[in-house]
Amino acid sequence: MIDYKSERVMYYKVLVGLLLLTAVTFGLPYIFEAGADLPAQMFIAVIKAWLILMFYMHLKGEKLISVMGIFSLMIVLVFFIIVLVVDVANFQFKDESHITAPQHTTGVTKHVTVPVKH
């Protein structure tokens, strides 16, 4: 049988931690410039996720499952890196493409080039 009392204390402690981090999530944007804080936000989210995984989901001490989980995450990471860093970041002819803004092409093409919005 498990130690109910101490486990419960752990649950509450983690909850407090999570709530604090949520508060930080809320506060952060007022420090950064609009849209620039995403990495920081995601970093906080990762800490929160780690807390949930380790304590709420009892991953602590589960070697096999952790290894499998890390493997799965690595794969997602690789998808991100390849698609975003390797392909999109090197998006060719970006400035000539009208992918970032609507343009009405009908009939004979008029090649309007719309600069990318930043």
Partner 1 sequence: MSNTLEGFNSQAATFAADVDQAFWINFWISIILFLSVVVPMIYFAWKYRADKVKNEDICKVTHNTSLELAWTLIPTAMLFVLFYYGYTSMKVLRTMPAESQSIVVHVEGKKWSWNYTYPANKSGYVHKTAELYVPKDQNIILKMTAPLNDVLHAFYVPAFRMKEDVVPGRITKQWFNSEVIGTYDVECAEYCGTRHSYMYSKVHVIPRTDYDEWFESKKRTPGAPDVTISKGQELYESNGCAGCHSIDTDAVLVGPSLKGIGAKYDAAYLKDAIVNPDKDIPEGFTAGVMPPFTLPDADIDEIINYFNNTDKGKELYEANGCAGCHSIDSDAILVGPSLKGIGAKRDAAYLKDAILHPDKDVPEGFTAGVMPPFTLPDADVSEIIRYMQSAK
Partner 2 sequence: MSKSYFDETHCAIGHPKSTFMQWMLTVDHKRIGLMYAAVMFTFFFIAVSTALLMRFELFAPGQQFIDGDTFNQAFTLHGVIMIFLFIVPGIPAVFGNIVMPLMIGAKDVSFPRLNWFTFWLYIFGSAIAIASLFTDAGFADTGWTFYAPYSLNTGTNVIFTLVAAFVLGMASILTGLNFLVTIHRLRAPGMTFFKMPLFVWGIYATAWIQLLATPVVGITLILAIMEKYFGIGIFDPSKGGDPVLFEHLFWIYSHPAVYLMILPAFGIMSEIIPVFSRREIFGYRTIALSSASIAGIGYLVWGHHLYTSGMADIAKTVFSLLTFFVAIPTGIKFYDWIATMYKGKIVLSTPMLWAMGTIITFAIGGLTGVTIAMIGVDIHLQDTYYTVAHFHYAMLGGVVFLFFAGMHYWFPLVTGKMYDEPKAKIAFYMQFVGFNLLWFPMFIAGFLGMPRRYFDYLPEFQIYHQFSFFGALLFVAGLVFMFWVFYKGWTKGEKVGPNPWHATTLEWHMPTSPPPLENHSKVPYVDFDPYEYHHGEPVVKFDYETMRRID
Partner 3 sequence: MAHEYIPEISTDRDGTEHVVQGWQDDFYGGKLGFWLFMFTEVLMFGAMFLVLTYYKMLHPADFVAASASLNRFLGGTNTVILLVSALTMGLSLLKMRAGDVKGAKLMIWATIILALMFLSIKAVEWTAEYNHGVFLGLDALQSGNPHSKPFGEILFFGMYFTMTGIHGFHIIIGIGLMVWLLKRINAGKVSPEHHILHWNIALYWDIVHLIWVFVFPYFYMIGAASGGTGGH
C-beta closer to partner 3: residue 12 or 93: 12
The reply on whether position 20 binds partner 3 by CB under 8 A is no
CB 116 within 8 A of CB 94: yes
C-beta closer to partner 3: residue 49 or 112: 49
20 binding partner (options partner 1, partner 2, partner 3, none; Cβ < 5 to 8 Å by kind): none
Q: How far is CA 80 from CA 45, 74, 89, in A?
A: 17, 10, 11
Interface residue list for partner 1 (CB under 8 A): 92-93, 96-99, 102-109, 111
Footprint (CB under 8 A) of partner 2, residues 51-70: 64
**Which tokens in the block code for residue 83?**
């698609």
Question: CA quadruple 96, 37, 33, 15: dihedral positive or negative?
Answer: positive
Among all chains, which residue has been given the structure tokens 């952790």? 66
* Residue from the set 12, 39, 63, 90 that interacts with partner 2 by CB under 8 A: 90
Cα(111)–Cα(104) distance, rounded to whole angstroms?
10
C-beta closer to partner 1: residue 60 or 104: 104
Neighbouring C-alpha atoms within 13 Å toward the C-beta of 118: 3
The reply on whether position 92 binds partner 2 by CB under 8 A is yes
CB of 59 to partner 3, least distance (A): 9
